[in-house]
Amino acid sequence: MLNRCAWAGTDPLYVSYHDTEWGVPVHDDRLLFEFLVLEGAQAGLSWITILRKRENYRAAFDHFDPQLVARYDEKRVAELLANPGIVRNRRKIEAAIQNARALLTVQEEFGSFDAYIWQFVGGKPMINAWTTMAQIPAETAESRAMSKDLIRRGFRFVGPTICYAHMQATGMVNDHTVDCFRYRELGGEWDRKAWIQQQVGEEQARLARVEARLRQIEQEDKMPSYEVVIKKIEPQTVASLREVIPVPQDVGKMFERLFTYLGQRGVRPVGPSCAIWHDTEYREKDLDTEVVVPIAEALPAGNGIKTVQLPGVASMACTVHQGSYEGFSQAYAALMEWIGANGYRIAGPIREIYLRGPGPEPTDPTTYVTEIQVPVEKV
């Protein structure tokens, strides 16, 4: 039995797309334009929804011939808005037409859209080595650079997340997990022994940096300072998994389950992940824990995961910790001291927002960035 990326699931259409298209380098301008339109149409929806409408899109958009799409007028827009076989969203339809026009301009400057778009990865696929779905990013420095330049050139619906999905689909990056049969077929070479040695080396380097920092702190005779602010947090639609875990470190396994479930359904996060600690008293084991990821639309419940509305909080005391999770105690101590000193008390579950975390970007724990949020009220 072939091993596939977890997101491929069992839907024949999804499996076929995974096995024959996803991650295959594309250098045809028409097909590159097709993926650009489809990725834009997918925004806020699941990818399987778009795949099921793909043939309808090809018929409706003249098989994605940018020369023809660029000439669409308001009458054609009205026809597309009346077409039940595609996503009938005016902004997305108008963006597809504008993107065709912008693509023609790029072709005039670079000779082809292919020559332009592949420059963001140096003209050849970037080969990653993810061992789990949870490691795969929603965006990267390359996708952010691509998004910024596309927007400057007049393209629409080309945010960093959409651009990274486009890079994955068109083979600019190989994001198949290393256990997937397509990983090696598309040029991936993963040496497990070398990878373990690399991880050991990185961990040793991290420990060396921690020891150096501790020596510096001893010399300064003080611990890092933390700025605390009070802010209002708005409600959010999130995918949620809540259960009691034996120890705090098991939260990583919860996130892996959550991201795998989202990947299998083609749902992409629209914000940073978050852990919520529901226990009202400090505990070191058997913790009531919830992990959530912001999403654009509700998804079917399953495997303990469901869509919920994360409540807003009128007064949230927040501080940002930069560094590995081992240093959380310092941030928590500073935050709790500030809360007491300023006449507040804790009024709800504590949240940890992982603005930048483990795998794949960055891999150095000293560069992790986490915002700790504590609901508070005046005493």
List active site positions: 17, 39, 47
Cβ contact 339:317 at 8 Å: yes
Q: Which residues pair with 310 in a beta bridge?
A: 236
